[in-house]
Structure 1
Amino acid sequence: MKVAIIMGSASDADKMEACIHILKDFGAEVTVRALSAHRAHKALEECVNECNENGTDVIITAAGMAAALPGVVASMTVLPVIGVPLKAVAFDGLDALMSIVQMPSGVPVATVAINGGKNAAYLALQIMGIKYPKLSEKLKAFRKEQEDACLKTDQDIRERY
């Protein structure tokens, strides 16, 4: 189980920490890179080519502002690409969100919420769960833990009021 995370810059790392930890906690091998689609396009192409050749299952991309990175990566691979729009100073991340979701037909990028690195990790795990049944079972157990926690909270609230 291999996931590549490509961020537009090193300043995006703090927003992707939880994503990285979730993937590793579920046993995924994670490669993390910081490559701009605008400033390092040749290195980005080499990185995506490596993903195409080395058994990477899913690529998660994270970018803010113009957020061309997810679309550029998707144009170089048929691997599933998940885009995480990041909140920058202007437009509260809506610019990145619109850039990522408005891909042309035939070059899709799955998109999660602004700063939605956690859901990018869970979506990548679900995608890989199709190929790796044990991972799917771990995800089901995780969902059951979430349900149990929610029901406990509900019980606590009902008892309090």
Structure 2
Amino acid sequence: ADAYAEGLSPPSFDKQYVRDYLETLDWNKQAPAPWLPEIVVEKTAQKYREALFRLAGVRMPIVGVVMGSQSDWEVMRHAVEMLDQFGLPHEARVVSAHRMPDELYRYAESARARGLVGLIAGAGGAAHLPGMLAAKTTVPVFGVPVPSKYLRGEDSLYSIVQMPKGIPVATFAIGEAGAANAALHLIAGLTRDDPLLHQRLQEFRERQTQQAESMNANLGRSQAELKPKP
């Protein structure tokens, strides 16, 4: 609206990036269209996401919460709840590294173009999901070891944390604390360019401090109750 008021054209939300790129190639429209570089796809997709938000108020997910099985949800929901608490749009999906390898590759390879800025991946046992995601995308991956039936999640932890040099996965604690902290770590990384998100994180930390300090008062009452009455 402001651009129209000033007699200017508003920012383009169509395929202008694609047209501009094809013009640099002197593409003959009668010939098959060439493959587009990733940066052109990303910029075009970003414009459409901006248009969707401005026109319909819809925010597309920026965080992917991925797990190897539905049974991992009891742990991974703590990451989702933390993202909800901070108002970050996200998606949750089951993508098994061993039973759905093709889907895993498609998901990882499309993550950046779809606007995802981080993947929180949880798996148990032979927990290859976070590492395989990291191998197929440059989007940061945050690994959550899910407790396993026989080894209490230690096998999950070792599977995720021992990544080879060059393919990093930020690995967190086993279980619920790891899922929540993975979300908080991702959130902290976004606060640099988002003052409102930074304020929410500061308030979250302050509430934690107040809750911890209140334990002293509760402890005093508990001790008083234990004293024998005269």
In proportion to residue count, which structure has more strand?
1
> Which residue of the other structure, out of 193, 202, 211, is the alignment partner of 1:140?
202
Aligned partner of 2:137 among 77, 86, 89 = 77
Paired residues of 1:93 and 1:114 also in contact (CA < 8 A): yes
- 2:97 matched to 1:37? yes
Aligned-pair identity in percent equals 36
Partner of 1:63: 123
Match of 2:162 in 1: 102
Q: CA deviation at 1:3?
A: 0.8
Q: Is 1:114 matched up with 2:168?
A: no
Deviations 1:140-159 (A, max 9, x none): 11001111111122233346
Q: Deviations over 1:90-114 (max 9, x none)?
A: 2110011001110001111111111
- In 1, the alpha carbon distance for the partners of 2:146 and 2:124 equals 4
Once residues 36 and 28 of structure 1 are traced to their aligned partners in structure 2, the CA distance between those partners, rounded to angstroms, is 24
For normalisation by structure 1, the TM-score amounts to: 0.93
What SS does the aligned partner of 1:130 have? helix
RMSD of equivalent CA atoms? 1.5
Structure 2 residues not aligned, in runs of 5+: 1-60, 224-230
Structure index of larger Rg? 2
Distance 1:117 1:97 in 2: 13
Name the amino acid aligned to 2:152: D
Which structure would you say has the larger RCO, counting Cα contacts within 8 Å and 6 or more residues apart? 1
Q: Does 1:25 align with 2:85?
A: yes
**TM-score normalised per structure 2:** 0.66
Give distance in 2, aligned partners of 1:80 and 1:108.
Answer: 8
Q: Distance in 2 between matches of 1:8 and 1:160?
A: 43
Q: Give a deviation string over 1:46-90, Cα, whole Å, max 9, x none.
A: 111221101111100000001000100011111111000011112
User: Which deviates more, 44-53 or 97-106?
Assistant: 44-53
Please, which runs of 5 or more residues in structure 1 have no aligned partner? none
Looking at structure 2, the residues matched to 126 and 113 of structure 1 have their Cα atoms a distance apart, in angstroms, of 17
| Distance in 1 (alpha carbons) for counterparts of 2:192 and 2:96 | 31
- Displacement of 1:160 after TM fit? 5.3
